[in-house]
Structure 1
C-alpha cells in the first residue's frame, strides 16, 4: 500500500494506545466537518468517542472552542461522574447527561453526535420521522427513534435516560423541538449518519414545500435500509470526508 492509498476496511489495532489515538484523530476531524457543514450554533453541539481503555469514559470537544479550531490535543476526557480527567479545558452538564446515558445503555455504541443543525431542528418541530422519500433517507427506515416531548435543556441523569430510551436500539433519534442525535460503532459512522440525517431532513422539507412526495414502498425501503443502513456503509462514507479534511487542515492532528 502506498502512502497515498486509502484503506477501505475498518482498521485493527495492536494496542489500546493506538486505538485511542485513532479515535481522537477521527473525533477532531468530525468536529472540523461539523464546522464546514454549518452545524455549529454557539456552544450547542458535541461529538464524543468512548475511550477504548476505560469504557465509562469518553472524549469530547471542550465547551466554547470553535469546532473549526479543535485539534487532537484540545479534546478532553470525561469520567462517569462528569469530571475532566485529562485535558486543559471544560465541558458542561448537557453533553455529559446525554452521552453518559447513551454509553451506559448501549455497549455497542462507541461514538455519538448531536448538534442543532437547522433542517434537523425544523423537522424535529413537526412531529414526524424521516420518511422514505429518497434512497438516502432509507438508511433511517425503521431505524431512528423519537423523543416525543420537550422539557428544556438536558441537564440531569433522568433526562439523559429518557433520551437513551427513545434512541433504543436504533442509530439515531429525533429530539422534538431540539434536533438530531446519531450513534455508531465508530466515530466515522456516527458522524456520517448525522450528516446524512441532516441532509435527509433538508430533502424532506424541500420536497414537501414543493409538492406531494412519492414515497418508496415498505419492501423497497426495507431492502434499501439493508443495503445502505449498516455500520460499515456509515464508516465507509466518512472516509473521503476524513481524508479531505486532514489534507486541507493537517493541524487538527496536533
Structure 2
C-alpha cells in the first residue's frame, strides 16, 4: 500500500537539552582552535581594514569578479541571466555589476560596470541587464546594511522555487536561513520595473535570502563574499530539500529541527563573518587557477 500523507508527515525533533525557557550563551560565529602548543595565538582570516576607500573599492571589485567565476564553475550562469552586485564604498548610492553579455567565467575587474541610482553607466563601456538594475537598485536602497546581492537561475534553485514555499529546517546547513529567508510569490515574467524590485525587496525583508517563485534564488550580504557563499549554500540546501522530499514519497519521514536548537545553531552557522570566511577558499582557488588574471 502506498504511504499516506499522514504517514509522510515530518517529525518535529524535540531536544531534551532545549526548553522554551532555556538560557544559552550566544555562540561564537567562528569555531576554531587557534593556539599553538607554545602558547601563540594563530591569526584567523577576516575582512581586511583599509587605509583608503579606494583600496576598499578595489578589494570589493576583485572579490566580485571572483564570485562570477565561482558561479560559472558551479553552473549558475545561463545566457545573459544572473547578476551579482556590490555597493561602491565611495559613491554609496552606486553599485558595480556585470556587463550584459560577458560570460561569468571570463569576467575581470576591468569588465565591471558602475551604475548610479538611475541606472546610468558611470564607469564601463557595456550595457547592463535591465532586470538586474530593477532588482539590485531596490535592494541596495531598501537595505543600507547590505553591500552585495546575488541572483541566478540555478537548477536546484529553479526546481525548488516552483513550489513557492520556504525551506524546511532539516539540515545544519539549512539553518543558515532559519527565519532569514522569504518567498516572493508574485511572478509576472521578466522583471523590468522598479516597483517589482521593491516588492522583491519587501519579500526579502531583513533576511539574507529570498526564493523567487517560478524564477530562481536571491541572496544578500555585508560583503560580496558573504552573499556569494549564501547563494552557493542556498542552492545546495534546495537540492538537499528536493532529495529529501523525493524520499518522503517512499514513506520516509523528514525530521524537522526543533525551533530552540535551530535558533541557537543559526547563530553558529549564519553570521556574516562565517559567510565571508567560508568564501575565501573559493577566492583562493580562482587566484590559483587563473594566476590572478581576473584581478586586472
TM-score by length of 2: 0.83
Q: Alignment partner of 1:11: what SS?
A: coil
Larger radius of gyration: 2
2: CA distance between counterparts of 1:41 and 1:147?
21
Mapping for residues 1-254 of structure 1, pairs under 5 Å: 8-211=45-248, 212-249=253-290, 250-254=292-296
Deviation at residue 219 of structure 1 after TM alignment? 1.1
| Partner residue in 1 for 2:3 | none
Cα shift readout 1:110-138 (whole Å, capped 9, x = no counterpart): 00000001111111111221211100001
Q: Which runs of 4+ in 1 moved over 4 A?
A: none
Q: Alignment partner of 1:47: what SS?
A: strand
Q: Identify which of structures 1 and 2 has the higher relative contact order when contacts are C-alpha pairs closer than 8 Å and 6+ apart.
A: 2
2: CA distance between counterparts of 1:188 and 1:6?
19
Deviation at residue 165 of structure 1 after TM alignment? 0.6
Cα shift readout 1:219-249 (whole Å, capped 9, x = no counterpart): 1111111111111110010011111111112
Gaps of 5+ in 2: 1-41
Gaps of 5+ in 1: none
Deviation at residue 6 of structure 1 after TM alignment? 8.7
Considering fraction of residues, name the structure with more helix: 1
Q: Alignment partner of 1:130: what SS?
A: coil
TM-score by length of 1: 0.96
Q: Alignment partner of 2:59: what SS?
A: helix
Deviation at residue 88 of structure 1 after TM alignment? 1.6
2: CA distance between counterparts of 1:206 and 1:90?
39
Cα shift readout 1:70-111 (whole Å, capped 9, x = no counterpart): 000000101111011101211021000100000110110000
Deviation at residue 7 of structure 1 after TM alignment? 5.7
Q: Is the 8 A contact 2:85 2:136 kept in 1?
A: yes
Q: Alignment partner of 1:209: what SS?
A: helix
Aligned residue pair count: 250
Q: Is the 8 A contact 2:177 2:270 kept in 1?
A: yes
Q: Alignment partner of 1:142: what SS?
A: coil
Deviation at residue 47 of structure 1 after TM alignment? 0.3
